[in-house]
Structure 1
Amino acid sequence: MIILGYWNLRGYAQPIRLLLEYLQVDYKEKLYNQDGEEWLNVDKQQLKTNFPNLPYIIDGDIVVTESKVIPIYLAKKFKNYELIGQNPDGSFNLNEITFLQILEILKELRDSLLNSAKVPSFKEEKDQIFNEKFNITFEKIKKQLGENKYLLGNLSFIDFYFYEVLKFFQFFYPKLSIFTDYIDRIENIPQIKNYLETKENKIFILDRMKSYFYY
């Protein structure tokens, strides 16, 4: 059984959770409290890797860290290469480059939103910030998506990542109506729908974040 370790929140682990659910992988989670004591003083020291970090997965004797690396490992392990932009047989495809580009763009978009929302003035200025800052990136993503169902044409990990970014934006901008069909498409993937109904809303609800941000 695969073990996914992370803080007791959504964060960088949430798209990985969606990927594991999509792959129907048998896994369990090791969730760390925000004080960090167990992670910093115990598990980080004992994790069998030269690069201990959160999130991590433990798969038997294999330890993989870093949120951008874990999905690559999982896609290759379960031979679902299209999830990382490769051809079905694992050979190179230009989508593999686009995959990495979009993943970096989405991470920057997510981090920029969360960092902005920690500033007291965000609540009053968030619409202006969206128009001047975030919307530029959304327009690029909209162009990439085009008439396709998913960002690379076929479903890939970056769709789970983008879905999570969109959920954050919905949290801070509840009146925002963008990519609604795309969100519905992800949420109606059978494995994801089951996860949302049985697990996510009981553990990783966004309302738990309210005390950390100005929204």
Structure 2
Amino acid sequence: MIILGYWNLRGYGQSIRLLLEYLQVEYQDKLYHENGEEWFGTDKKNLNTNFPNLPYVIDGDVVVTESKVIPIYIIKKFKRFDLIGQNVDGSYNQNEITYLQLQEILKELLDKLEAQARIPSFKEEKEKIFNEQFNITFEKIKKQLGNQEYLLGNLTYVDLYFYEVLRNFQLFYPKIQIFTEYLKRIENIPQIKEYIQTKENKTFIFDSMKDKYYY
């Protein structure tokens, strides 16, 4: 059984959980308490890799770390190459490049939100910040989505990642309605719907460090 190790919150582990749920892979969701005692005191030292970090995946003798790498390992292991924009046989498809571009754009978007939310004036100026900094990127993504159901036409891992980015934005901008139909579409995927209804981790990284963010 695959073991996914991460903090007891959503963060960089959540879209990986969604991927495993979508693929209906049996896995252990190994959760670490925020005090870090078990991770830093024991497991990090004993993780059989030169690059111990959270999240990690243990699959038999294989240990994979880093949130961008783990999905690639899982997708290739189960031969679902279409989930990273490739053809179903793993051969090259131009969508693979767009997939990588979107992944970087979304990571930058989330990083920018975190950086802005740490500034005390953010709470009072967040609508202005959204219009001047975030909305430009969202408009580009909206253009990419167009009339398609998913960002590359068919569902890929980047859709699951974008879903989690949007959920984080909802914490800070609950009144701004963006990609509402898209969010519902992801949430209505049967495997994802069941996960949300039964065992979804409800704690966002921003919730766990409220003293550091302004919203």
- TM-score, shorter chain, exceeding 0.5: yes
Larger RCO of the pair (alpha carbons < 8 Å, separation 6+): 2
Give the structure 1 partner of residue 157 of structure 2: 157
Give the structure 1 partner of residue 10 of structure 2: 10
Q: How far apart, CA to CA, are the structure 2 residues paired with 1:18 and 1:73?
A: 15
TM-superposed deviation, 1:8: 1.2
In the superposition, the TM-score normalised over structure 1's length comes to 0.95
Q: How far apart, CA to CA, are the structure 1 residues paired with 2:181 and 2:72?
A: 27
Q: How far apart, CA to CA, are the structure 1 residues paired with 2:118 and 2:2?
A: 34
For 1:186-201, list aligned pairs within 5 A: 186-200=186-200
Identity over aligned pairs, percent: 69
1:120 is aligned to 2:120: yes
- One-letter amino acid of the counterpart of residue 211, structure 1: K
TM-superposed deviation, 1:50: 1.1
Q: How far apart, CA to CA, are the structure 2 residues paired with 1:45 and 1:76?
A: 28
Q: How far apart, CA to CA, are the structure 2 residues paired with 1:97 and 1:49?
A: 29
The ranges of structure 1 where at least 4 consecutive aligned residues each deviate by more than 2 angstroms after the TM superposition are 203-213
CA pair 40-19 structure 1, distance change in 2 beyond 3 A: same
Give the structure 2 partner of residue 37 of structure 1: 37
Q: How far apart, CA to CA, are the structure 2 residues paired with 1:45 and 1:168?
A: 31
TM-superposed deviation, 1:210: 7.0
Q: How far apart, CA to CA, are the structure 2 residues paired with 1:21 and 1:6?
A: 16
Give the structure 2 partner of residue 108 of structure 1: 108
Q: How far apart, CA to CA, are the structure 2 residues paired with 1:121 and 1:33?
A: 31
For 1:73-112, list aligned pairs within 5 A: 73-112=73-112
Of residues 108-117 and 51-60 in structure 1, the stretch that sits farther from structure 2 once superposed is: 108-117
| CA RMSD after TM alignment | 1.3
- One-letter amino acid of the counterpart of residue 100, structure 2: L
TM-superposed deviation, 1:209: 4.1
Q: How far apart, CA to CA, are the structure 1 residues paired with 2:62 and 2:92?
A: 25
For 1:139-158, list aligned pairs within 5 A: 139-158=139-158
Give the structure 1 partner of residue 185 of structure 2: 185
Q: Which runs of 5+ in 1 are unaligned?
A: none
1:168 is aligned to 2:168: yes
Structure 2 residue matching 1:57: 3-state secondary structure: strand
- One-letter amino acid of the counterpart of residue 180, structure 1: T
